[in-house]
Amino acid sequence: MQSITRHIITGVLTVIPLLVTVWIVWFVVDMLIWLGRPATFALSGVLRPTLPDVADLLLAGWFQSSLALVLVLIFLFILGKVANAVVGRRLLNTVDRVVEAVPLARTIYSATQTLIRSLGGDGSPTGQRVVLIEFPSENMRAVGIVTRIFPASETQPELAAVYVPTTPNPTSGFVEIVPTSRLVWLDWTKNDAMAFIVSGGSMTPENLPINWITDVGPRITPSDARVASARSPEPQTER
C-alpha cells in the first residue's frame, strides 16, 4: 500500500509542472482570443453581403478562435514594430499625454506602465535589481525586484521599494519598503527571477552564482524617528 501511495505522489509531482504550464499558456491564449474576437465579427460583417459562406465560416467556433488569435498576434507584431520606430515613439508619447490628462486613468496607466517596465527587460544581468528580501518574516527570504530607490536623508537611510511576486502568478504580489542594507543583491536577470517564481523555485540553474552577502552592514534605524510596530500592544494587567 505504501508503494502504491508513493508512486501516486510521484506521479502527481511529475504532472504538476506540466499542468501549471498548460494553465498559464491556456490563460494567455484565451485572453488573446478574447481580444481578437471582435475583429472576427467585424470581418464577417464586411464579407457577408458578397461571401456569406465565408462569413459563416469565420464565425465557426474553432475557426473563429484560431483567426482571432492570428489577428491579435499580427496586430501585436505590427504594434511592436511601430513602437520601436521614431514615429511610433512619438505616437506613444502622445497617447501618454492624453491618458495623463484623465485623473483616474492616469494613476492606473502610470502604475501599470512602471510595473511592466520594472518586470521587463532583455534578460541581461547588467543593471538588474533582483534581490532577496526578508519576507514574510525576518528568518525567511523571498525573491523580489527593486522598482525604486529612495535616497538617504538626514532622518532616514536609503530605502528601496521591492515588488515581491507570488507563485505561480507573478502579476500579483506585495510591495515592501525596506532599507537597502537589509537586502541581499543577486546576480540574477529578471528572466531568471520570473522563471524561479513561476516554477516554484525549480527552474533555477544549479550553476547560477548567487552573491550572498553575509555582512549586510548595520541595520540603520533613524534616531529621530519613532519605529512603528505591527504587533498589537500587550494587554495591561490590572493592579
Q: What is the DSSP string of the chain?
A: -HHHHHHHHHHHHHHHHHHHHHHHHHHHHHHHHHHHHHHHHHHHHHHTTT-HHHHHHHTSHHHHHHHHHHHHHHHHHHHHHHHHSHHHHHHHHHHHHHHHTSHHHHHHHHHHHHHHHHH---S-STT--EEEEE-SSTT-EEEEEEEEEEPP-SSS--EEEEEEE-SS-TTSEEEEEEEGGG-EE----HHHHHHHHHTTT--S-TT------S--------TTSPPP--SPPPPPPP-
**Predicted pLDDT at 218:** 44
**Predicted pLDDT at 36:** 87
Q: Among 116-120, 129-133, 149-153, 208-212, whose mean pLDDT is lowest?
A: 208-212
Domain boundaries of the chain, sorted by first residue: 2-84, 86-119, 121-221
